[in-house]
Amino acid sequence: MFTHKGKIYDYVKCNNKALSGSKNKSKMKTRGLVSFELLIWVAALILLAMNSVPEVDAADHFSLCPLANLGFDWCPGCGLGRSLSHLLHGEVEQSLQMHWFGIPALMVLLYRIFSLSKQELVKRNLIRKEKYYV
Amino acid sequence: MFNSPFMALPGISPQEFSYLQSATTGFSEQQLRGFLMIYGGKRRNPDDMVLYCILGFFVPGLSRFLVNQIGMGILYFFTLGLCFIGTIIDLINYKSLAFEYNQRMVFESLQMVKMGNPY
**CA atoms of B34 and B110, how far apart (whole Å):** 9
Our count of domains for chain B comes to 1
Is residue B7, in this structure, part of any structural domain at all? no
d(CA A55, CA A58): 9
Q: Which domain range does residue B80 map to?
A: 32-116
pLDDT at B50: 93
Q: What is the domain extent for residue A129? A: 4-133
- Would you say residue A19 has pLDDT above 50? no
> Could B18 and A17 be called an inter-chain contact, meaning their C-beta atoms sit closer than 8 Å?
yes
- Please give, rounded to a whole number of angstroms, the shortest distance from the CA of B17 to a CA of chain A: 10
- Identify whether B69 is part of a domain: yes
Q: Is the pLDDT of residue A75 over 90?
A: no
Q: Is residue B97 part of a domain?
A: yes
Three-state secondary structure string covering chain A: CCCHHHHHHHHHHHHHHHHHCCCCHHHHHHHCCCCHHHHHHHHHHHHHHHCCCCCCCHHHCCCCCHHHHHCCCCCCCCCHHHHHHHHHCCCHHHHHHHCCCHHHHHHHHHHHHHHHHHHHHHHHHHHHHHHHHC
Asked if the ipTM is above 0.85, the reply is no
Instruction: Using an 8 Å CB-CB cutoff, list chain B residues near A105.
Output: 75, 79
Q: Is B32 on the interface with A (CB under 8 A)?
A: no
Task: Report yes or no on B54 lying in a domain.
Answer: yes
Structural domain total, chain A: 1
CA distance A118 to B100: 12
| Contact assignment for A65 to B74 by CB distance below 8 Å | no
pLDDT confidence band for B98 (50 / 70 / 90)? very high
d(CA A32, CA A36): 11
Residue A102 has pLDDT above 50, yes or no: yes
